[in-house]
Amino acid sequence: MRFLMCVVLVLAGMTEARADELQWSDHYANAKQAAADGQKPLLVVLENSADPAGRLDLQSLGSAEKQAELMQQYQLCRMDVATPYGKRVAEAFGVTQYPFTAITDKTARYITYRSSGVPSADHWLATLETRQSGATPVAEQPVMRVEAAKIITGWPTLQPQDESYCPKCVRNQYYR
């Protein structure tokens, strides 16, 4: 009986230790793919290691246990924009102020939250809690990329009798 109690206590201690050890990826593309595969929202933090004000200090953002519990629901990616790869990722996000935080939906296709600067502890925990399901909030529109072909409207329509009519252009859908 005593042995069984010791085993239970050791296992409980191991569970707590794992909650404190969050696995952050430093490669955006790998983290995004892992988030999509695991159907988890992606939490991206971009920081500037050269500037102390450009870093996100998680210890100042509330209870470590609560953060760890919430962050286990996310695929985590934390990048330094002082590296060449980090700079490219920051440019892709259009970031100019650090730290920068973004959260995607569970497919990792749509950004459902983005913020620059250090959030308050209450806002940070509330954001982690509301976004952990990976669903796109109904009241908000996700940031998404639109193909250029879908933006073009008002195609000119030409007939064979028009002098600027070109069968090759019609076939390539430059005109309809």
**All domains of the chain in start order, with CATH:** 22-145 (3.40.30.10), 146-176 (no CATH)
Band of residue 110 on the pLDDT scale cut at 50, 70, 90: confident
Secondary structure string (H, E, C) spanning 101-121: EEEECCCCCCEEEEEECCCCH
Average pLDDT over residues 3-16: 42
Helices 64-71 and 121-131 meet at what angle, rounded to 10?
A: 30
Task: Provide the pLDDT for residue 134.
Answer: 84
- For the chain, what percent of residues have pLDDT higher than 70? 65
Tell me what pLDDT residue 37 has: 95
Where is average pLDDT lowest: 53-67, 88-102, 111-125, 159-173? 159-173
pLDDT band at residue 109 using 50, 70 and 90 as cut-offs: confident
Q: What does residue 92 show for φ and ψ, rounded to 5 degrees?
A: -65, -35
* Confidence at 173, pLDDT banded by 50, 70, 90: low
List b or e across 36-66, with b for residues whose CB sees 16 or more CB atoms inside 10 angstroms.
Answer: beeebbbbbbbbbeeeeebbbeeeebbeeee
